[in-house]
Structure 1
Amino acid sequence: MADTDLHTPRLLLRDIAPGDVDAVHAYAGDPEVCRFMVWGPNTLDDTRAFVAEQLVAAAAPDRRTHNRLIVHAGSGQVIGGIELRLESPANQRGDFGYILRRDHWGQGYATEASRAVLDLGFGQLGLHRITATCDPGNTASARVLEKSGLRREGLMRQHLRRGGQWRDSLLYAVLASDERP
């Protein structure tokens, strides 16, 4: 992503700042929020380390990971995060993922943030293909991806390992040439 903030009707997507540890930890430390993630729930030290890593990544001249906080424009409250990763610049391919605080689920914020990231990926970054995955049990996330214009391409069996257990993932993708909402 660019080094500028993204704005949607209800959200601001901005880079993580040093003072954001507590705001990030509000969702990253919640076991219910992290239930389908391959990480977490974070300890406060985990969250501090994550924020420090993101500050370094954002300053890299060849930045390939663009992690943004999702901020409610009306209240200024951090309600989640969204990340676009450049998987293969040579092939113009990226992938993204998101996470929201539990008290903001079901209000369309993940879809709104996802659409903004897709627009930027295809527009400014010139990507050709963007993918996302979700746990087959995470039906809410699957709906977000579909409402954002991604198509389900398949099931990746035993794709990720968490807590010593292999987990499947659903693969979703959208091309720059696809029609999106």
Structure 2
Amino acid sequence: MRNLGSIELETKRLFLRHFVVEDAKAMFENWASDSENVRYVTWDPHPNPQVTQASIERWLLHYQEENTYKWAICKKEDPKQVIGNISVVSQDPQKEICEVGYILGKNFWGQGIMTEALKAVLHFLLLEVGFKEVQAKYVSLNPASGRVMEKAGMHYLTTLPNAVARKGYIGDQITYTIHSSNL
């Protein structure tokens, strides 16, 4: 495996780049402060832009590590306006496996943006970095996330019944996977 870090990725419509401190306002407004947008993630809505900025500042420190993979998602027509993020949330380099997570501002849902970003990241992680397998998980109450995984070429792996209990709901944890041999 090669530790390449979060190099800039480009798709037909998107730039995937490092976060910068100046992204805090857009991140706060586009998804981090919205309870509907963060309903199925592990963290709560940010109460103010300062909390969002503090998160970004922590991430900036991690970019110095070669095995950090975290991207701000931006449309090409407005590369300074961050609309979502996608990142490796856990990895086991010895087993050559990692897990990705993602979030997109709800004003950008239903446009194929996350599928496009996920395809680019999967390609990068499997073919450039050298992971043999990439997984992603979602809670059953959020089937749109599963459709993104399917459209990006991932395949169903397993369901853990009632494995996610947070924010007043209980749901199944559904895992999808893709192997380097599938590309």
Same fold (TM over 0.5): yes
Aligned counterpart in structure 2 of residue 109 of structure 1, from 113, 123, 134: 113
Tell me the residue number matched to 1:18.
21
Aligned counterparts of 1:73 and 1:162: Cα–Cα separation in 2: 35
Aligned counterpart in structure 2 of residue 133 of structure 1, from 137, 148, 167: 137
Of 98-107 and 161-170, the range deviating more from structure 2: 161-170
Aligned counterpart in structure 2 of residue 178 of structure 1, from 175, 179, 182: 182
Displaced runs of 4+ in structure 1, greater than 6 A?
none
Tell me the residue number matched to 1:118.
122
Query: Deviation of residue 36 (structure 1)?
Result: 1.2
Q: Deviations over 1:43-75 (max 9, x none)?
A: 224312211110011112xx4332111000012
Tell me the residue number matched to 1:43.
47
Query: Deviation of residue 3 (structure 1)?
Result: 4.3
Tell me the residue number matched to 2:88.
84
Tell me the residue number matched to 2:8.
5
Q: TM-score, normalised by structure 1?
A: 0.90
Q: What letter matches 1:153 in structure 2? A: L
Aligned counterparts of 2:178 and 2:129: Cα–Cα separation in 1: 15
| Aligned-residue CA RMSD (Å) | 1.7
Paired residues, what number? Answer: 177
Q: Deviations over 1:81-101 (max 9, x none)?
A: 111245101111111111111
**What secondary structure sits across from 1:38 in the alignment?**
coil
Tell me, which stretches of 5 or more residues in structure 2 are unaligned? none
Aligned counterparts of 2:149 and 2:163: Cα–Cα separation in 1: 19
Query: Deviation of residue 23 (structure 1)?
Result: 1.5
Q: 1:20 to 1:85 in 2, by over 3 A?
A: same
| Percent pairwise identity | 31
Aligned counterpart in structure 2 of residue 157 of structure 1, from 145, 161, 166: 161
**What secondary structure sits across from 1:153 in the alignment?**
strand
Query: Deviation of residue 4 (structure 1)?
Result: 2.5
